[in-house]
A and B are shown apart, each in its own frame.
Chain A
Amino acid sequence: MNDLFTYTLRLGDDALIAAQRTAEWIAAAPQLEEDVALGNIGLDQLGQARTLLQYAGQLEGAGRSEDDLAYFRDERDFLNLQLCELPSGDFAHTIARLLYFATYQHLLYEELRGSADETLAGVAGKAVKEVAYHVDHATQWVLRLGDGTEVSHLRMQAGLDAMWPYTAEMFASDELVRRLPVAVDPSKLQDEWSRRVTEVIDESTCTRPTSSYQHSGGREGRHTEHLGYLLAELQHVARSHPGASW
């Protein structure tokens, strides 16, 4: 399988699965403005996913469209980070994930803007500006909840703790990213990510989690039990009525 296809699929799957989880909050967020905000963030992620999956389809050369890749692959064929597929849970869990993931995406896209691959550089140049707003949104909420009431502080801390064991996977380097010159080796983003995230958590009066056990496997198609349920919801209409349009 071609390396660039696999790399593009990883980035596209991260964006697609994150978009699906984020969109779950529409009409269920704590306030109307938050419905709109998370809806917009999910839409940005979906837009990134569409361009990346479309490009992956071209690279593969087997005639698969963005829709084929999104709707007609099974769980083991998805290469997204496990962090993206975890249940939305408590609102603070979602915000913790957004802080971790958007900060990572921002650093990644900043680097990828300089990639020699024109399409990846184009997606990154566009997305980096959108993701800056996602980081800002997550930061404002972590500060407000962490430094809020006793209850909001406890729940923010619980969210940060619950998502933490899935963060190391974002920075795991492997053979593929090392031999693909247009890719960004994510391991070099970790120090700056850690610095930025720690600064927000410290300011919010929460404590940076220190859990030592870290999950992994998403990049090889090994997922948590939650991805299957997410895909069932994402894919069932397309699979029940293949080729339908409206």
Chain B
Amino acid sequence: MGEVADPEVPVLTIADLGVLRGVRREGDEVVVTITPTYSGCPAMDVIRHEVELTLQALQVDGRVETVLSPAWTTDWMSEEGKAKLTEYGIAPPTGQRAVGGPISLSLTIRCPLCGSPDTTELSRFGSTSCKSLWRCNSCREPFDHFKAI
């Protein structure tokens, strides 16, 4: 089950992401619990479908449950997941939130391509809900950052 990939960032599995919350047995049925990264994440329907297909392929009777609480956080992303993200060209979450504290902070994110810390945030909202858009001032390449939430 942990091998189901995120359709938006295919190098990550739902286990790496922390979207897969648990697998339990209820009588003759297997219940797989998943949680969305963002309320409106359009990948959830695909993930649910993929999990169902995996259950079918394993010839297991089961169903998928979506839970909202506790709310997903980037802290649940595995270290392996973070390493895979960097390799894929997306700067992983830092563990520090850009907003929500008493003051808005500007944090330096390291460029996943050349490693330079000299980067600029172009937009707090990127190609998907979970990412922001950055540019590296050293290698001049734009890149995505998986923002902490």
CB distance from A113 to the nearest CB of B (A): 9
A130 x B125 contact (CB < 8 A):
no
Instruction: Report the bound CA distance from A28 to B123 in whole Å.
Output: 17
Which of B11-19, B38-46, B86-94, B108-116 makes up part of the contact surface? B38-46
Known contacts A47-B39, A48-B39; is-contact A126 B124 (Cβ 8 Å): no
Instruction: Report the bound CA distance from A39 to B133 in whole Å.
Output: 14
- Asked if A51 lies at the interface with its beta carbon under 8 angstroms from chain B, I say yes
**A 93-124 binary contact with B (CB < 8 Å = 1; else 0):** 00000000000000000000000001101110
Instruction: For B39, give the chain A residue with the smallest CB separation.
Output: A47
Which of A61-69, A131-139, A214-222, A228-236 makes up part of the contact surface? A131-139
One of B38, B70, B123 near A130 (C-beta < 8 A)? B38
B129 x A137 contact (CB < 8 A):
no
Bin the interface of chain A by size.
Answer: 20 to 34
**B 63-102 binary contact with A (CB < 8 Å = 1; else 0):** 0000111111100000000000000000000000111100
- Asked if B59 lies at the interface with its beta carbon under 8 angstroms from chain A, I say no
Instruction: For A39, give the chain B residue with the smallest CB separation.
Output: B125
B40 x A126 contact (CB < 8 A):
no
User: Which B3-42 residues have C-beta < 8 A from chain A?
Assistant: 36, 38-42
A126 x B133 contact (CB < 8 A):
no
Known contacts A43-B40, A44-B38, A44-B129; is-contact A129 B123 (Cβ 8 Å): no
- Asked if A36 lies at the interface with its beta carbon under 8 angstroms from chain B, I say yes
- Asked if B55 lies at the interface with its beta carbon under 8 angstroms from chain A, I say no
A125 x B71 contact (CB < 8 A):
yes
- Asked if A92 lies at the interface with its beta carbon under 8 angstroms from chain B, I say no
B68 x A37 contact (CB < 8 A):
no
- Residues from chain B with a CB closer than 8 A to the CB of A48 are 39-40
Instruction: Report the bound CA distance from A207 to B73 in whole Å.
Output: 38
B39 x A125 contact (CB < 8 A):
no
B71 x A126 contact (CB < 8 A):
yes
B interface residues with partner A (beta carbon < 8 Å): 36, 38-42, 67-73, 97-100, 104, 122-129, 133, 149
